[in-house]
Chains A and B, each alone.
Chain A
Amino acid sequence: MVPLVAFQLLSAALFAIGIYGVMARRSAVLIVMSIELMLNAVNINLIAAASHLDGSGRWANFDGQIIAIFIITVAAAEVGLAMAIILRMYRNRSTVNVDEINLMKW
């Protein structure tokens, strides 16, 4: 059986890539994709924990999978909302480059 740590490392790596994407990407759409990556890293962590801890008495629960399903749902709503806002931004400013979205600072 693949140990839990392997899943946790995978999850941490995905999460880190997601954070890197949020900080390094210039297109708002790609930033949203990076956020999706972070949320899916969380899902991997949760499901791995739920299935690995299952069966050893105390840990027998499905909470992790349930949380993951909720996160998938919320993430879908989040993307819908973010895309609507980005679309509106494109109509108003003709750009989705976050470097140019700088009307307000400090």
Chain B
Amino acid sequence: MSTENLTANLYLLTPEFVLAGFALLVFVLDLFMPDERKDLLGWLSVLGLIGIAILSIAMLVGVDESLYNGLLAVDEYALFFKVFFIGIGVFIILSSIDYVRQHLNHPGEFYGLLLFSILGMNLMAMSRELLTAYISLELLSFSLYVMVAYALGSPRSNEASLKYIIVGSVSSAILLYGISMVYSTLGVTRFGDISEELKAATDVSPALWAGLALIVAGLGFKLAAVPFHMWAPDVYEGAPLPVTAYLAIASKAAAFALVIRLLAEAFVPVADRWDQWQIILVVLAALSMLVGNLVALAQRNLKRLMAYSSVGHVGYILAGVAVLSTDSLLGANGVIFYLVGYSVTSMVVFAALIAFFNATGQEEIADLAGLADRQPFLAMAIAIGLFSLSGLPIFVGFTMKFYLFTAVANEGFLWVAGLAILTSLISLYYYLQVIRQMYIQPALAASNEGDDHGSHVDAEDEAGGSGDNEDDHTHTPAHHDPASDYVALPRPSAALIAVVFLGLVATVGLGVYPAPLLELVESASAAVMQGG
């Protein structure tokens, strides 16, 4: 291997270099920007991200190459996920600008960290070597640890980030131990080489199996698949709302992007051994569906509800991951399409919840009472988003579940597909409860909501000191004033409305006419399943 190999096609990494430089630029600009104009940094990040997405598309369509002697892949799959992650980043920034201004300090660094985490996610989708994958994963995780802790005065945010960093570090250590076991038995770390070695090996040592199991466990933590999900609800609840949205949507999609490439290049080609591995993944998937959806029934906090619901969705996606195969692209198509559909739909729900939180400072399910009267647009957005998540037709949620479950059933895992449909029905129950609050429950007189505006973090601070979870959120006003039966909420900002609106259009549009997206998804999954 000569140095020429390392630098010959380095230009293919231009979007990543630009993104890294741009993130640093945002950090530096933050130093010189007066505090009241830091919103500009958010808008600047949005523009930069859109520019980088266009640059990637212009440069990389149709390219299928490997960088640094096969450490990073630049192919349709990576490009698809790159644009996808950048799109998520744009929407998250747009929906968080108001929140950041009202509730968080140091907005510039928030956007800078977000850009770095997007860089990490892009690299995760590209990496085809274990160490590279690990470093990209840590770039994402480190940014997220800080973003979860971003509400500096809030003990909840603090507790969430402490739990997140401890669980995250332990899971990285487990992942690394797995990597070291694989390395010490096979002597290779590239995904392609691993599959060559596995094919060649007649007898696979227990050390290797232990290593692979540890890698699955480590990635399972990152995905929050049952039984490695215990951190997720706490972290989701404590984190600032836009960060919760980001965790639920982007970090999950990135982890799946990595898992799909790892499995597709290292394990799926080893057909007979892959059959044994499918069982493990299917069991993890079934557990995630059951636990996520059943525990979600008991939740009262919206963020926690979304956390458990996302654990359930991870279960569905894992079932799709388990049926990846070299013969048919159905599984890969289903998984990638599901990731996009899930992200779009969750974005609608979270953006609407962020708008609600900005106006009221509330995040319990009960607080949504009467939202249909107070802010009909938000109520409709949340309702459509939740219907889509539960998989009702004409929304993208139905289409994505249809594709994914069909793929699972096609591969012979009928019971998993059945379980997935059953748990989707269960999920409809808790989503409908939220919708019932908005449309049927009368609005509470909101006498103290105006005061909450902008001071929610401080209020939590005082309440949190008592260490009692149950009483923090009794927002029901003691003195009910019949004259003001409900108070219409102030209009959300244009950026938030735009995000919700575009998300709704995509939710319905992809549900009715998914063909254009499916074409892109197919070229992406063909690149990863057959390219390596």
Contact = CB atoms under 8 A, between A and B. Distances in A.
Contacts of A41: 177
Given A18-B173, A45-B181, A31 B159 contact: no
A86 B162 contact: yes
Given A28-B166, A77-B138, 5 more contacts: A66-B131, A88-B152, A93-B465, A101-B159, A104-B469
B375 to A, nearest CB: 28
Interface string A16-47: 00110010000010011001001101100110
B131 A81 contact: no
23 contacts: A18-B173, A22-B166, A38-B170, A39-B176, A45-B177, A59-B187, A63-B189, A64-B184, A67-B131, A70-B135, A71-B176, A74-B138, A74-B172, A77-B138, A85-B158, A85-B165, A89-B159, A92-B461, A93-B158, A98-B162, A100-B467, A104-B237, A104-B238
Contacts of B423: none
A66 B68 CA distance: 15
B166 A64 contact: no
B136 to A, nearest CB: 11
A104 B156 contact: yes
Interface stretch (B98-106, B141-149, B341-349, B393-401): B141-149
B354 interface: no
A85 B142 contact: no
A81 B142 contact: yes
A103 to B, nearest CB: 5
A85 B184 contact: no
B121 interface: no
Given A35-B170, A63-B189, A77-B142, A103 B184 contact: no
B166 A92 contact: no
Contacts of A63: 131, 183, 187-189
A32 B170 CA distance: 9
A70 to B, nearest CB: 6
B464 interface: yes
A31 B173 CA distance: 13
Given A67-B189, A82-B169, A104 B160 contact: yes
A103 B173 contact: no
Interface string B198-240: 0000000001000000000000000000000000011001100
A56 to B, nearest CB: 10
Contacts of B514: none
B206 to A, nearest CB: 12
A4 B234 contact: no
A38 B464 contact: no
B218 to A, nearest CB: 11
A93 B183 contact: no
A85 B183 contact: no
Nearest to A63: B189
A74 B165 contact: no
Contacts of B172: 74, 78
Contacts of A101: 159, 162-163
Please name the 10 residue pairs, one residue from A and one from B, whose CB atoms are nearest each other, closest first. Answer: A49-B184, A38-B173, A45-B180, A42-B176, A104-B234, A35-B169, A46-B180, A59-B187, A92-B155, A42-B180
Given A22-B166, A38-B173, A74-B138, A46 B237 contact: no
A88 B170 contact: no
B165 A82 contact: yes
A43 B163 CA distance: 25
Contact of A92 (B153, B165, B237): B153
A53 B465 CA distance: 55
B145 A85 contact: yes
B183 A64 contact: yes
Interface string B117-145: 00000000000000100110010001001
A41 B184 CA distance: 13
Main secondary structure of the interface of A (DSSP, over half): helix
Interface in B237-267: 237-238
A83 B176 CA distance: 22
B179 interface: yes
B388 interface: no
A15 B210 CA distance: 14
B177 A78 contact: no
Nearest to B177: A42
Contact of A49 (B145, B152, B183, B238): B183
Contacts of B233: 104, 106
Nearest to A11: B180
A93 B155 contact: yes
A65 B334 CA distance: 39
A59 B186 CA distance: 9
Nearest to B152: A88
Nearest to B129: A63
A14 B388 CA distance: 48
A46 B234 CA distance: 34
A61 B222 CA distance: 30
B131 A61 contact: no
Of residues B154, B177, B207, which shows the largest number of chain A Cβ atoms within 10 Å of its Cβ?
A: B177
Contacts of A35: 166, 169-170, 173
B161 interface: yes
B62 to A, nearest CB: 32
A103 B166 contact: no
A81 B238 CA distance: 18
A89 B238 CA distance: 13
A55 B465 CA distance: 60
A102 B189 CA distance: 40
Given A103-B159, A104-B159, A31 B237 contact: no
